[in-house]
Structure 1
């Protein structure tokens, strides 16, 4: 098993992105030959940060493979070099939103015919459970489901990794919209603040993702990121922060109706964000279901991973 493991070659598409760079790091750390799709010079342009990150991956032992979504054959050629493809394209609207580009990648994987596992860009709410989602935010889930359908229709072996909120966007700011740092005086609380939310350090998400890639238990299944010690309510997050700060924050409770009404007059990205927050904090859509036979829970499968607890995570901000 160990020999097979070290030989499985991994291609990361979107390797310089927010989750992508962590997946590259985790893949290298777990000893896999790691390839990163590098866009041609004309597409990188003068984006020096992206280029420096790619070169730093190369220094750490990753292989850079040139390829572009505007050149289908280059995608096929890149995919032919590897056994596993992980796509980490952004699905959020305040950054670049490129989920549907993955359909080209699915076509390339289908044509190449050699990929043993494909992990599309997921990582958040499980789109299969979001058929009821609010407009306009449901576009994210609808697009992810179109990608899933294409994968399954093409009979490409897959693993979907989902079920956690990113700590950088949900813990560090105590889940406040429009800021990334925790408040010092007052905090907006959604509903009664008692909904359990699965929140994970992004580096841990990457570690678990790489663990799945040659695990037969995750083949054609959904891996849910729901570690039992990282299911804080918003009130619990606030309390952790208050303990670190040594003072109480003023709490402003927002009813479901008022929260939804706040969408009016927002731009598209803002409306999408409000919808997603609504599903997470008012409906509990990350935690309000049992994981059935179609899924596995990450911390149960990989008890050896020492994931970061949110009380540790928030210390950095104090």
Structure 2
């Protein structure tokens, strides 16, 4: 071993999670490459973000899923690929990336765009939210068929999206008056700070224990029910919130006349808080738990996260 860090290519680097992946990759000492689309030059915010990455040492490569030659060229310069593309329609674009990897043949690890619930556990998901899991499974099977080394990161629930608003739909600040409780509020969720998600992810890229595995991010202090999270917030503000309990039937009926995007969010909340789809333990031989692999990692607890909003 010469101690050299793997070269990491990040796709989707200017996105919500992508920018955090860049930060974590650089912090861990990986030579970090960023693939950016040509049309991004018209977005001043994203251009400045890219320049900021460059000033921190990242290498910018222009390319896109629609330009196979650019993908192949980028892949030849790196060892590991982390895809953080957003949007259900974009997920299947990763099939072009898989084809490029088959052509290059030297990629040591591919982490496709996952970072939510484990797609292979969600074959029972209800529509329209099921399409996200279906498309992620299509990508997984293509990776495995091509014998590309992989790690799938099941990061569960982004704290900035779920925990920040006490799991209220489209609300990203915790209320101080009332809160809607799903069912009895007793289903376990796994709430993970986004910067921690990125650091966990980047710690896996050269960890042999995560090769061809599903890594479940499960910070022990953050495996909490919605009611437990509400109680943490109530303790912090010194006030009890009015609680509005919603039955499963009421929640599903609320999807009527909503946009498809919001309907997807509603069904994912249903899977977590009514169906209890995050109530499981990581199982071998293919599943590994972040706490078992990285027990000394100082993650942000749910209480620490919520204190930011005081």
Q: How many residues align?
A: 310
Q: CA-to-partner distance for each residue in 1:151-199, whole Å, 9 max, x for gaps?
A: 0111100000004200001111000002111112110000100111111
* SS of equivalent to 1:197: strand
5+ residue gaps, structure 1, are none
Aligned equivalents of 1:192, 1:111: Cα separation in 2? 52
The CA deviation at 1:70 is 1.6
Identify which of 67, 74, 84 aligns with 2:70. Answer: 74
Give the match for residue 12 of structure 1. 10
Shift of 1:290: 4.5
CA distance in 1, matches of 2:79, 2:53: 19
Aligned match for 1:102, one of 94, 105, 122: 94
Q: Please state how far the C-alpha of 1:65 moved relative to its aligned partner.
A: 1.0
Q: Assess if the C-alpha contact under 8 Å between 1:20 and 1:88 holds in 2.
A: yes
Secondary structure of 2:42 counterpart: coil
Shift of 1:91: 3.7
Give, in whole Å, the separation in 1 of the partners of 2:284 and 2:65: 35
Displacement, 1:240?
1.2
Relative to structure 1, is the Cα distance of residues 58 and 45 closer, same or farther in structure 2, using a 3 angstrom cutoff?
closer
Residue matched to 1:261: 253
Alignment correspondent of 2:224? 232
Contact 2:10–2:22 (CA under 8 A) maintained in structure 1: yes
Deviation at 1:256, TM superposition (A): 0.8
Determine the C-alpha separation between the residues in 2 that align with 1:119 and 1:88.
9
Alignment partner, residue 149 of structure 1: 141
TM-score by length of 2: 0.97
SS for the counterpart of 1:243 is helix
Aligned to 1:26: 24
Corresponding residue number in structure 2 for 1:35: 33
Moved over 4 A (4+): none
Aligned partner of 1:184 among 147, 171, 176: 176
2:115 is aligned to 123
How many angstroms apart in 1 are the aligned matches of 2:5 and 2:179?
49
How far does the alpha carbon of each residue in 1:91-121 deviate from its partner, in whole angstroms, 9 at most, with x for none?
Answer: 46xxxx4111111111111111110000000
Cα distance in 2 between the residues matched to 1:32 and 1:227: 24
- What does residue 88 of structure 1 align with? 84
Which is further off, 236-245 or 16-25?
236-245
Q: Residue 288 of structure 2: SS of its match in structure 1? A: strand
SS of structure 2 residue aligned to 1:265: coil
Q: Counterpart of 1:171?
A: 163
Aligned partners of 2:155 and 2:197 also within 8 Å: no
On the 8 A contact 1:212/1:218 being kept in 2, the answer is yes
**In structure 2, how many angstroms separate the alpha carbons of the residues matched to 1:109 and 1:24?**
21
1:57 aligns with 2:49: no
State the Cα RMSD in Å: 1.2
Q: Is the 8 A contact 1:163 1:286 kept in 2?
A: no
SS at match of 1:232: strand
- Distance in 1 between residues matched to 2:132 and 2:284, nearest whole Å: 23
